[in-house]
Amino acid sequence: MARSGKSSRKRITTPRKSRAGLSSRQTKRGFLRHPLVRWIIVVGLFAACAGLLIAAMVLFQYSRLAATYDITAAGRMPMESKVTDATGVLVGYLHGENVGTPVTLDQVSPHFIQALIAREDSRFYQHHGIDHRGLIRAWLRNLKEKRTVQGASTLTMQLTRMAFALSGRTIQRKLLEMALARRIEKHFSKDEILTHYINRVFLGTGMNGIEQAAQGYFGKPASDLTLPEAAMIAGVIRAPNGFSPFRNYEAALREMRSTLLRMADEGLITEAEVAASESARPVVLPQERWMGMLKRQAKISEQSYLLKMVGDRVDEMFPSLVGVGGLSIRTTFDTRLQSAAEQAVSTRLGELENQKGYPHPVFAAHRAGDPAYLQAATVVIENFTGAVRAAVGGRDFQHSAFNRAIQSQRPMGSIFKPLVYGTAFERGLFPGMLISDGAIAPGEISWDRFGWNPENADGVYGAMLPVETGLIKSRNTMTVRVGERAGIESVIAMMEHAGLGELERAEPSAPIYIGTVGANVRDVTSAYSVFATGGVRHEPFFIESVTDRDGSVLYEHGDVNYRVLSPGAAWLTSNILKKVLEEGGTAAGVRDLGFDAPAGGKTGTTNDYQDAWFVGYTSRLSAGVWIGLDQPGKIMEGAYGGRIALPVWNDIMIEAQRIGYEFTDFAEPEEVISMELCRESGLLAGEVCKARGCVYVEAVPHDLIPRKFCNSH
């Protein structure tokens, strides 16, 4: 019994494996309880959440940006945009891709559709615009190679680039492209996307779309392409110029064979078909034949300063239509006046270059490179609308596309002075008051830290002279003192209000008074128009309206205007500028050249004859002319604005009259009163002023009548 009882007792033990598992779990728990480990986990989770939040914010931001694009543009075939002048005369064409007749999928050889998908986007029918597998694969491959060797753009993303003219290799562009691709996938079916793609994809040498490529390379419709021909064209897509069978037939053959292998890998063709096709050498027709066809069919104008101005502005206004075109763009230009301006520049600068001893390269001898010959720019603006009627950006667009009329910032010199005088007139100065023409004394400009001491152009310094003489004769020292009467802050404010000198607001300097400020011809011309309009500036513009291919008006200009000078100050300044064109003024030569209509204006010449200006206005038009070298340097000895820029202005205005622009007398303020003023203070003359002999009679506009008597004597 005892043995039996002893033997019946069972020893209960814990299996070694279970003890090990328990120990492991306890160790794990202990590890996870370690403060450093817990801190790392928390930080890791926080970083992951932050990363997801940032990614979500970025995706949201680019989704919002993509929503601003007209997604239907991806389904519209590119067309040329027609540009006309203000009277409807054709200026030229933009967005001039000639894509021929669009085709449907059933009008294209199935071989090409298969070759395209195998080569460019094998998962086209599976993804929703973005192939995430392809992205990861491309990223890993590029990381391994430490350079970009593989892309991951789907056909939809490629269509996005084509439709919206997205360029560059930045991450921002890629994110926008992806957001737009998702929108395209939601808006169009897969077959529609494929149709849009094959009709606009660039396939080399001016070929847009499969139909043009089939006709250009092989002289047949896209529906008749053989397997080797289809594979060759599909192989061109990644490098249309490098793999073009016109330019590099052997490279095109190599890409054709690579495409055939891809098709086999994707199960689209058999190994037997590959074997039968990879030795083929498709017959490619001569490139000259295609170029002749393209020339006969295309509506692409030779680029010009005007067309580039219009194209850049329209692309800025409608970025989603850049790759689509089909617009009717009505501009403000007058092609008759434009021709006159171009001819005036060509003739007058040609005469300068033909002068004996002319020191620079001449236009006729230019062959290549940046032009070193003398350049000019001119802009003609309608005063009461701001419409740009003519703009010359240089002597030859083919030599240089840089538009000197709107892009070049050159020192204005003396043509800036009228704004200084206009500002001073608003603050109590009058044309008949006296201002010293003497040299600027040390410390006279109290706020100037550099002790600047301007010189008069002739080196002569006079005594007290009427204020208007300073502008008529372009006296520097008088102008500085007039500017000081107005105050530098007021002059800068007026300058900015007139559309000039944005860079000068941060650090004023005394030389601003005599035109060290840089500006372009359009802005200066617009600023001068206020002297003809009674002080109101109409923002310059050259796009009147834009209509799409369906006849819907996308844009119509609305006048933007504001007051720059009071009517009285504008009138007083204009009266002086009219005298600049009369005997004794710096632009008196205009009357000898034949222009006799009422006008005002100002010459300008910068130091060492580097820039020559003339800006003038009539009752209807204002025009500015600049002449100089692209790399600033001395034009020639005696190259004053009144000598070399004024004749260009004269020729333009005489032709404007001949065309039919009427120039009448300038309007006067509603009420002008002759008043006795003190020559020193500009206030109403008192008895002491009369006794001292400093009283004179001034024609004073009603809005500038002094309200106080002089008591400064």
For 337-396, write each residue's pLDDT tens digit.
Answer: 999 999 999 999 999 999 999 999 999 999 999 999 999 999 999 999 999 999 999 999
- Name the percent of the chain lying above pLDDT 70: 88
What pLDDT shows up at residue 30? 59
The Cα 107–Cα 104 span in angstroms is 5
Within 283-413, strands assigned E span 328-331, 375-382, 388-392, 410-411
What pLDDT shows up at residue 234? 96
Mean pLDDT, rounded, for 618-633: 97
Write the DSSP assignment of 391-430 as a string of letters. Answer: EE--S-TTT----TTTT--EE-GGGGHHHHHHHHHHTT--
The answer on pLDDT for 169 being more than 90 is: no
Three-class SS state of 533? coil
What pLDDT shows up at residue 78? 77
Closest CA to 379 of 392, 395, 370, 398: 392
What pLDDT shows up at residue 507? 73
Region for 204 from its dihedrals, namely left if φ exceeds 0, alpha if ψ lies in -120 to 50, beta otherwise: left
Pairing of strands 328-331, 81-84: parallel
Closest CA to 489 of 570, 427, 537: 427
Mean pLDDT, rounded, for 13-36: 53
Contact call for residues 414 and 515 (beta carbons, < 8 A) = yes
Topology annotation, domain 97-297? Penicillin binding protein transpeptidase fold (1.10.3810)
The answer on pLDDT for 113 being more than 60 is: yes
What pLDDT shows up at residue 10? 42
What pLDDT shows up at residue 295? 74
Q: Considering only the C-alpha atoms of the chain, give the largest distance between any 2 of them, rounded to a whole number of Å.
A: 156
Higher pLDDT, 247 or 31: 247
- DSSP lists the bridge partners of residue 545 as 330, 556
Contact call for residues 337 and 652 (beta carbons, < 8 A) = yes
Mean pLDDT, rounded, for 308-317: 94
Contact call for residues 115 and 230 (beta carbons, < 8 A) = yes
Mean pLDDT, rounded, for 443-463: 89
What pLDDT shows up at residue 123? 92
Closest CA to 412 of 121, 224, 614: 614
Planar angle of CA 281, 114, 175, nearest 5 degrees: 115
Three-class SS state of 623? strand
The answer on pLDDT for 138 being more than 60 is: no
The Cα 22–Cα 401 span in angstroms is 80
Confidence of residue 96 (pLDDT cuts 50, 70, 90): low
Confidence of residue 146 (pLDDT cuts 50, 70, 90): low
Confidence of residue 471 (pLDDT cuts 50, 70, 90): very high
- Dihedrals phi, psi of 380, to nearest 5 degrees: -120, 125
Mean pLDDT, rounded, for 78-107: 85
The H or E element that residue 3 is part of is helix 2-8
Confidence of residue 9 (pLDDT cuts 50, 70, 90): very low
Of the listed ranges 315-319, 322-326, 482-486, 554-558, the one predicted with least confidence: 322-326
Confidence of residue 283 (pLDDT cuts 50, 70, 90): very high
Confidence of residue 1 (pLDDT cuts 50, 70, 90): very low
Give residues with Cβ within 8 angstroms of 547, minimum separation 6: 327, 328, 330, 553, 554
Confidence of residue 97 (pLDDT cuts 50, 70, 90): low
Of the listed ranges 274-278, 504-508, 676-680, the one predicted with least confidence: 504-508
The Cα 408–Cα 677 span in angstroms is 44
The Cα 361–Cα 373 span in angstroms is 5
**pLDDT tens-place string over residues 286-305:** 999 998 887 777 666 678 99
Mean pLDDT, rounded, for 17-42: 58
What pLDDT shows up at residue 670? 84
**pLDDT tens-place string over residues 657-697:** 999 999 999 998 889 999 999 999 999 999 999 989 999 99
Query: What is the residue extent of each domain of the chain?
Result: 97-297, 388-659, 672-704
The Cα 363–Cα 372 span in angstroms is 8
Q: Annotate 308-338 with b (16+ C-beta within 10 A) or e (fewer).
A: ebbbebbeeebebbbbbbbbbbbbbbbbbbb
Structure-derived torsion over alpha carbons of residues 7, 8, 13, 16, reported in degrees to the nearest 10: 70
Query: How many Cβ atoms sit within 10 Å of the Cβ of residue 266?
Result: 14
Higher pLDDT, 92 or 132: 92
Mean pLDDT, rounded, for 596-607: 95
How large is the angle between the packed helices 567-580 and 417-426, nearest 10 degrees?
Answer: 140
**Average model confidence (pLDDT) for the chain?**
88
The segment with the largest mean pLDDT, out of 52-66, 581-595, 647-661, is 647-661
Give residues with Cβ within 8 angstroms of 635, minimum separation 6: 360, 374, 609, 610, 612, 627, 628, 629, 644
- Dihedrals phi, psi of 355, to nearest 5 degrees: -70, 145
The Cα 107–Cα 109 span in angstroms is 7
The answer on pLDDT for 324 being more than 90 is: no
Pairing of strands 543-547, 328-331: antiparallel
- Residues 278-285: contacts with CB within 8 Å, 24+ apart? 278/228, 280/226, 280/228, 280/256, 281/253, 282/217, 282/218, 282/226, 282/228, 282/229, 282/232, 282/245, 282/256, 283/218, 284/217, 284/218, 284/245, 284/246, 284/249, 284/252, 285/216, 285/217, 285/218, 285/219
Contact call for residues 374 and 349 (beta carbons, < 8 A) = yes
The answer on pLDDT for 16 being more than 80 is: no
What pLDDT shows up at residue 27? 54
Tokens 């047949």 appear where?
Answer: 220
What pLDDT shows up at residue 517? 87
The answer on pLDDT for 149 being more than 50 is: no
Mean pLDDT, rounded, for 245-258: 96
What pLDDT shows up at residue 11? 44
The Cα 575–Cα 432 span in angstroms is 12
- Kindly indicate whether the domain formed by 388-659 is annotated with CATH number 3.40.710.10: yes
User: DSSP class of residue 302?
Assistant: P
**pLDDT tens-place string over residues 553-566:** 999 999 999 999 99
Contact call for residues 480 and 454 (beta carbons, < 8 A) = yes
Write the DSSP assignment of 143-198 as a string of letters. Answer: HHHTS-------HHHHHHHHHHT--S--HHHHHHHHHHHHHHHHHS-HHHHHHHHH
Token pair of 430 as six digits:
């009058």
- Dihedrals phi, psi of 390, to nearest 5 degrees: -155, 150
Closest CA to 448 of 507, 398, 494, 533: 507
Higher pLDDT, 575 or 171: 575
Domain 97-297 and domain 388-659 have a common topology? no
Cα torsion 135, 138, 141, 143: sign: negative
Three-class SS state of 675? strand
**pLDDT tens-place string over residues 220-230:** 999 999 999 99
What pLDDT shows up at residue 58? 61
Contact call for residues 437 and 455 (beta carbons, < 8 A) = no
The answer on pLDDT for 309 being more than 80 is: yes
Pairing of strands 695-701, 464-466: unpaired
Tokens 């802050």 appear where?
Answer: 489
